Amino acid sequence: MTDRDMEQKLRSEAKALLEQGKVDGIIGFEDGSLKFTTTPLITSDKDDTSRLVINPFIVNNLSVYLTEVKGRVGIVAKGCDSRSIVSLLQDTKVAREDVVILGVPCRGIIDLGKVEKLVGKDRDEIDDITRDGDRVVVTVSGKEREFPIQEVLFDNCLGCELPTPQEYDILLGEPTLPASSGDKLVSQEKVNRLKEMTPEQRWEFWGGEFDRCIRCYACRNVCPACFCERCFVEETEPPWLLAVPRWQDNLLFQAVRNIHVAGRCTDCGECERACPVNIPLRSLTREMYGIVDELFHYQAGMDKDASPFLAAYEATDTGDFIR
Amino acid sequence: MSEWEPKLLGFLCKWCSYAGADLAGTSRKKYPANIRVIRVPCSGRVDPLFILKALHLGFDGVLVSGCHPGDCHYQTGNYYARRRMAVTRKFLEYMGINPQRLQVSWVSASEGGKFTEVVTEVTKELRELGPNRLFSHDRQGHGTKATQ
């Protein structure tokens, strides 16, 4: 089943859902204003459903809008997005009956930055990018160039454990197989390199990275797991953090954010993609995901009936660090 | 200038460790004056934010002390704290903060002696660890530059 087929199915299903009054709105993707981009489409108008798209550029994790949009909604979700939805269900931020999940069996999302680097051209100079099975065909000034798909996918798509949503109402295509386990190493590499450093070196590494942070909070705003109505960084009486250009303050914000979303964060990578100054935030989320998995054998967003990680305990939880 | 002394911030549960500290005092037990105490209703009240903020303010270490498993006044608060602290310690280490700077203990209201021991030991360890300069104003980060 091609993206085109899924797109057709999505449009008709979304239209039917709205017409039959099964949902009040649809959250999906439409073509973006720039080449090779998509932008979220949130609509309650059935005529807008013809603008819905499925292609290798549907990058955003739309589940972040679930806590904002009122009423019953239909939402387009890739495997990773569905895990974020499950996480929201666990936290009772969203009721299962209020969401119709239009599941997309995903074959990976293309990182435009990687394509640009590969062909040495900017987005505007590229005529076409087409996925063809395990290959990607990039057309630049009439000439076609082929690359293995792995070379252009986002890091967190490589070694994806759940390309097809586990939790869905309508599946738009045949399930895709999880990527081969060897690919997981790609995402783990950066983390491992950091772990080999001394603590002192790590602190300095983060210093170098968070020196650039402008505290725009884009990472928090795109994060489906960051759903506090009032974030601690906005507390002013007294303030937890000042708006000062100090990297330690920036790092403190991100560290606390990561701890707060432990067991909710599915390492979807939206924070890193949203970061305007390219801080490798996934090196933090990936490790937090690993810590929760290693210590408590808990993977975020896998089981909607499981208790939220931080709102649960086991009598056998590790306590070997306690005096 | 006088010799550097570690500063330890203690978050003590009012139902156990705080009373344990009281007992240590009324029993005339001696423990280092390096600990500053904040009373909390339960160890489960302690947000990891408090810990990071304390280190940010310049404390050399943080001690979170609550009731033994099974003894929580609210039945389960200390279990949540245990999970949260386990994750926080690991993450601190990954950031480059020595996890020894975050200590957790179970001290009941009748364990004035244990409270004395914990504070003495933690203070000694912090002294060996040296001052926390991670958040110093003059400290520049100079890791790798912009990475993709």
Give this complex's ipTM. Answer: 0.90
Task: Tell me, yes or no, whether A166 and A38 share the same domain.
Answer: yes
Q: Do B147 and A240 touch (CB under 8 A)?
A: no
Q: How is residue B138 written in tokens?
A: 């003059």
Task: Tell me, yes or no, whether A231 and A133 share the same domain.
Answer: no
Is B145 part of any domain? Answer: no
- Residue A226: what pLDDT? 95
Q: Do A205 and B96 touch (CB under 8 A)?
A: yes
Residue range of the domain that includes B120:
8-129
Q: Do B144 and A209 touch (CB under 8 A)?
A: yes
Residue range of the domain that includes A127:
112-151
Encoded amino acid at A197, one letter:
M
Q: Do B95 and A255 touch (CB under 8 A)?
A: yes
Chain A partners within 8 Å of B92 (Cβ):
255
Q: Do B87 and A259 touch (CB under 8 A)?
A: yes
Is A198 part of any domain? Answer: yes
- Residue B147: what pLDDT? 38
Exposed/middle/buried for residue B38 (C-beta within 10 Å: 0-12, 13-18, 19+): middle
A247 near B CB under 8 A: yes
A207 near B CB under 8 A: yes
- Residue B14: what pLDDT? 97
Residue A236: pLDDT above 60? yes
Task: Tell me, yes or no, whether A193 and A298 share the same domain.
Answer: yes
- Residue B143: what pLDDT? 45
Task: Tell me, yes or no, whether A104 and A199 share the same domain.
Answer: no
- Closest chain A residue by Cα to residue B76: A313
* C-alpha closest to that of B65 among B50, B44, B80, B84: B44
A192 near B CB under 8 A: no
Residue with the two structure tokens 């808990």: A298
Q: What are phi and psi of A59, to 5 degrees?
A: -80, -35
Total domains in chain A come to 3
- Residue A183: what pLDDT? 60
Q: What are phi and psi of A190, to 5 degrees?
A: -60, -40
Is A16 part of any domain? Answer: yes
Mean pLDDT of A29-40: 95
Strand ranges in chain A using DSSP code E only, listed in sequence order: 25-31, 38-43, 73-77, 99-103, 126-132, 135-140, 143-148, 170-171
- What tens digit of pLDDT does each residue of A266-293 get? 999 999 999 999 999 999 999 999 999 9
Is A157 part of any domain? Answer: no
Considering only the beta carbons, identify the residue of B76, B96, B145 that sits closest to A200: B96
Total domains in chain B come to 1
Report yes or no on whether pTM surpasses 0.90.
yes
Sequence-separated (6 or more) residues with CB below 8 Å from residue A186:
A155, A158, A159
Is B1 part of any domain? Answer: no
* C-alpha closest to that of A205 among B147, B2, B63, B133: B147
Is A317 part of any domain? Answer: no
- Residue A265: what pLDDT? 96
Task: Tell me, yes or no, whether A192 and A285 share the same domain.
Answer: yes
Considering only the beta carbons, identify the residue of B76, B95, B118 that sits closest to A202: B95
Considering only the beta carbons, identify the residue of B91, B98, B104 that sits closest to A259: B91
- Using CA atoms, how far apart are residues A242 and A251, in angstroms rounded to an integer? 12
Residue with the two structure tokens 């245990």: B82
Is A100 part of any domain? Answer: yes
- Closest chain B residue by Cα to residue A309: B83
Task: Tell me, yes or no, whether A42 and A138 share the same domain.
Answer: no
Chain B partners within 8 Å of A284 (Cβ):
94
Confidence bin at A186 (pLDDT 50/70/90): confident
With a cut of 70, which residues of chain B have pLDDT below it?
Answer: 1, 138-148
Residue A216: pLDDT above 70? yes
Chain B partners within 8 Å of A319 (Cβ):
69, 82, 86
Sequence-separated (6 or more) residues with CB below 8 Å from residue A299:
A289, A292, A293
Q: What are phi and psi of A170, to 5 degrees?
A: -130, 125
A259 near B CB under 8 A: yes
Is B13 part of any domain? Answer: yes
- What tens digit of pLDDT does each residue of A117-170 get? 999 999 999 999 999 888 999 999 989 999 999 899 999 898 888 999 999 999
A315 near B CB under 8 A: yes
Provide the edge-to-edge strand list for the sheet that holds A126-132: A126-132, A135-140, A143-148
A322 near B CB under 8 A: yes
Task: Tell me, yes or no, whether A64 and A146 share the same domain.
Answer: no
A4 near B CB under 8 A: no
Task: Tell me, yes or no, whether A85 and A117 share the same domain.
Answer: no
Task: Tell me, yes or no, whether A199 and A228 share the same domain.
Answer: yes
Sequence-separated (6 or more) residues with CB below 8 Å from residue B36:
B7, B8, B9, B10, B59
> What is the sign of the dihedral through the CA atoms of B102, B105, B110 and B115?
negative
CATH number at residue B112: 3.40.50
Parallel, antiparallel, or unpaired for β A73-77 and A38-43? unpaired
Encoded amino acid at A207, one letter:
G
Low-confidence winner among A182-186, A261-265, A267-271, B77-81 (lowest mean pLDDT): A182-186
Of all residues in chain A, what percent carry a pLDDT higher than 90? 85
Beta bridge partners of B61: B8
Identify whether the C-beta of residue A85 lies closer than 8 Å to the C-beta of residue A75: yes
List all residues of chain A from 85 to 114 with a beta carbon under 8 Å from chain B.
113
Q: How many CB pairs under 8 A join A and B?
A: 137
Is B135 part of any domain? Answer: no
Identify whether the C-beta of residue B52 lies closer than 8 Å to the C-beta of residue A253: no
Is B111 part of any domain? Answer: yes
* C-alpha closest to that of A72 among A103, A101, A105: A101
Q: Which residue has the higher pLDDT, B92 or A1?
A: B92
Is A240 part of any domain? Answer: yes
- Using CA atoms, how far apart are residues B17 and B122, in angstroms rounded to an integer? 15
- Establish how many alpha carbons lie within 13 A of residue B64's alpha carbon, considering only the half-sphere containing its beta carbon: 32
Confidence bin at A243 (pLDDT 50/70/90): confident
Task: Tell me, yes or no, whether A281 and A238 share the same domain.
Answer: yes
- Closest chain B residue by Cα to residue A197: B96
Identify whether the C-beta of residue B50 lies closer than 8 Å to the C-beta of residue B11: yes
- Residue B4: what pLDDT? 93
Task: Tell me, yes or no, whether A166 and A192 share the same domain.
Answer: no
Q: Which residue has the higher pLDDT, A182 or A268?
A: A268
- Closest chain A residue by Cα to residue B114: A323
Q: Do A240 and B53 touch (CB under 8 A)?
A: yes
Is B138 part of any domain? Answer: no
* C-alpha closest to that of A301 among A37, A17, A83: A83
Task: Tell me, yes or no, whether A117 and A140 share the same domain.
Answer: yes
